[in-house]
Amino acid sequence: MSTVAPNRAPAATAERPARPGYRVTGARVLRSEWAKMWSLRSTWITLGLGLFFLVAFGLIAAYQFKSRITSGRPMDRDFASASALSLSLFGTNFAQLALGVLGVLVAAGEYSTGMIRSTLAAVPRRLPVLWSKAVVFGAVALLVGTAGVFAAFVVDSRIVSGTRAAMVLSDAGVVRGLFGAGLYLGLVGVIGVALGVLLRSVAGGISVLVASLMLVPGLVSLLPSSWQDDIAPYLPSHAGEAMFTLHHDASTLSPTAGLVVFVVWTVAALAGAAVRLVRSDA
């Protein structure tokens, strides 16, 4: 009699745990943009230049004011009504160029190298890339700008102590002016990022930035005075200046109104960049 060996069921193979899928989150995109920004040598150099401009030009202005006071020489128009606050903010116009240009480089630099394709492949929804670049660099520019103007004011207030320009932090409007200048520089950095994404060209972004902040106000000053009063206060540079100016008159915006107008300019630049990023290929 033959026996039939029972069929044995094959041993169940142990299933390997599935590897969790990669998820694109806001925090991860922020960390990625943070790492990319600090990996560039230009970031360190340009941020250092922005900080140097704020402190160095503030000190130079304070020493110039003090020397004119002690020597009895006539005051220039820029120094006639100067205060420790205005002297410490003398380098803001130079620092805004450094921080704005770096914002353009942070965004448009990826287009010039082709790295933007890898970035958008990792973040297919695209817009988180723009928001992360703007938040990361805007926060860095804000911190650098605020630190620079406070450092310049602390030193300048000692230099001009005993003169009519003397001020301390507890004086009315000083802290508001210093934080306003730092916020202005932070928003300039965000506008630089937006222009870099919108134009996708380092040269183009820098050109539009410089024209918006420096050339257009000069052209408006050539218009009839009645037109200037209606246009000039709402230009980006003039609205931003109202955020940190100590004294205002009828031809300038209040600090709050200046902040609102400048935020509108910033949002408009970001909106244009967002539309271009979503609708156009890299």
DSSP letters, 38-102, are HT-HHHHHHHHHHHHHHHHHHHHHHHHHHHHHHHTPPPPHHHHT--HHHHHTTTHHHHHHHHHHH
Phi, psi of 154 (to 5 degrees): -60, -45
User: Using an 8 Å Cβ cutoff, are 146 and 222 in contact?
Assistant: no
Mean pLDDT confidence for 258-279: 96
Distance (Å, rounded) from C-alpha 119 to C-alpha 97? 27
Q: Is 33 left (phi over 0), alpha (psi -120 to 50) or beta?
A: alpha
Q: Where are the alpha helices (DSSP H) in 114-173?
A: 115-122, 127-159
In this prediction, residue 281 carries a pLDDT of 78
DSSP letters, 189-242, are HHHHHHHHHHH--HHHHHHHHHIIIIIHHHHHTTS-HHHHHHHGGGSHHHHHHH
Model confidence pLDDT, tens digit, residues 155-173: 999 998 888 888 999 998 9
| Report field, pTM of the whole predicted structure over 0.85 | yes
Percent residues over pLDDT 70 in the chain? 91
User: Using an 8 Å Cβ cutoff, are 83 and 246 in contact?
Assistant: yes
What is the Cα Rg of the chain in Å? Answer: 27
C-alpha angle 230/233/236, rounded to 5°? 125
Mean pLDDT confidence for 46-65: 93
The two structure tokens encoding residue 202: 């380092």
Confidence of residue 242 (pLDDT cuts 50, 70, 90): very high
Work out the number of other CB atoms within 10 angstroms of the CB of residue 47: 22
In this prediction, residue 13 carries a pLDDT of 47
Confidence of residue 1 (pLDDT cuts 50, 70, 90): very low
Model confidence pLDDT, tens digit, residues 69-86: 877 677 777 677 888 999
Report which DSSP code applies to 37. H
Confidence of residue 137 (pLDDT cuts 50, 70, 90): very high
Domain ranges of the chain: 26-279
